[in-house]
Amino acid sequence: MQTQELLPPVKEALALFPDKFSDESVYAGPLGGAWAPGRVNLIGEHTDYNGGFVLPLAVDRVASCGGRRRKDQLVRLWSTHASEYAQFTLEGLPQSFDEQRQQLPGWARYLLGVATELVRAGIVLQGFDAVVAGDVPLGGGMSSSAALEIATAQAFALFSDGKFTIGEKGTTLTYLEVAALCQRAEQIASGVMCGILDQAASVLGLPGKAILLDCRSMEYRYLPFEAPNVSVVVIDTSVRRELASSAYNERRSQCEQATQLLQKAILQADPENSQARQIKELRDITPEQYAQHKDQLPEVLQKRAGYVIAENKRVLKVVELLGQNDIEAVGAILWQGHAGLRDEYEVSCDELDALVEIAQSVPGVLGARMMGGGFGGCTINLVRNEALDALRAAVEEQYPARTGRQAVIDICRAAAGPGHTIVG
């Protein structure tokens, strides 16, 4: 078995497979592995479901499935994180989704969701057994669920015996079609009405590149994200919150309300404004229109709309800076983004704020902000390499004293997207 070129979680899944699944009589194909990366989002938080812009990069942390194709319609799984088995059948999907979902642990529901959406898309699937492993922090704001979903789609492609393919034009499903499919899978599996940021970032990743994605048109382009003297540092608060219970859906609803009220106010002020009639999301409202009409909103909706409109502007400013290869200047915009998430969107928490404040006190940290849905998870930090040790020392000394928790510090690189391979 040649696995020396594979990432460690893929190797782990493949190595564990013979111990966890040993019934040779059920298999109809060789051993293979599939994987997909987590992501960090440089800027553009909570803009995806408002039709706005995001600027993520895939990172060198992956979710993986290592296994073999079965002769039947059963999918059997072993999770290294949960240390438990789970199984479901492809028979009866999508109609059997709700009944099967109730019988599965949370992590396995994402795989069932992907299978369900693939079947709904007309894809003929084959069952498989697989070990599920990964080194994307679970619930840490680096999109472990999206990585698992994209890896699952890759696994089904791998074990379908060539019946469907994922890629660019000429394939059964394009990368962005897979991203949208996995977004729907997450929504039905978790109950969180997530945007497409996480899945698109995972499926589109390229080494040394950030991805500017227009979440309405789904147009995207790559920007250079390599600076030999600057590192991307992800610091995990060790705080875990379920997005469904962390007011994520409430924020989405508030943005929709704000859009409707702002559109009404703009039209009342100028009934002949044809552009205002085309307003569908906060992305369509300019900063000038918001400033003129924000008093028509309740205070909480002013905050939500003000943050999203400003955040879209921040994304485009970072794009401009990256186009000039000025990664260092991006840092100041991260501080601004965190302040907006903390004070206007109100999705931060004491632990996230503590990490950002500690980072701000360390010379050589260019910028930091909370990342992900909020209420826990990670911060993203842009740090000059000579300041890495000082940041680590400051976090290790001050964070436990302030929060009673231990933080986990990791350095990430912009990395490639998903893949799969037969190994023997």
Catalytic residue positions, numbered? 198
CA atoms within 13 A on the CB side of 233: 30
187 contacts 193 by C-beta, under 8 angstroms: yes
Query: Which run of H or of E encompasses 101?
Result: helix 97-102
Q: Write out the two tokens for 105.
A: 């642990």
Phi, psi angles (nearest 5°) of residue 223: -125, 145
Residue 45 has φ and ψ, to the nearest 5°, of -100, 130
Give one DSSP letter per residue of 303-354, joined into a string: HHHHHHHHHHHHHHHHHHHHHTT-HHHHHHHHHHHHHHHHHTS----HHHHH
Secondary structure letter of residue 387 according to DSSP: G
- Pair 127, 90: CB distance under 8 Å: yes
Element (H, E) at 275: helix 274-277
The helix or strand, by DSSP H or E, that contains position 118, with its residue range, turns out to be helix 106-120
The Cα 310–Cα 295 span in angstroms is: 17
φ/ψ region of 346 (left if φ > 0, alpha if ψ in -120 to 50, else beta) reads: left
Q: How far is CA 112 from CA 15, 89, 188, 289, 323, in A?
A: 24, 9, 10, 44, 40
Q: Rounded to the nearest 5°, which phi and psi values hold at 246?
A: -110, 25
* Contact (CB, 8 A) for 56 and 221: no
Question: Distance between CA 118 and CA 270 in Å, rounded?
Answer: 46
Contact by Cβ (8 Å): 63, 9: yes
As to burial, measured by CB atoms within 10 angstroms (0-12 exposed, 13-18 middle, 19+ buried), residue 198 is: buried
User: Residues 368, 379: contact at Cβ < 8 Å?
Assistant: yes
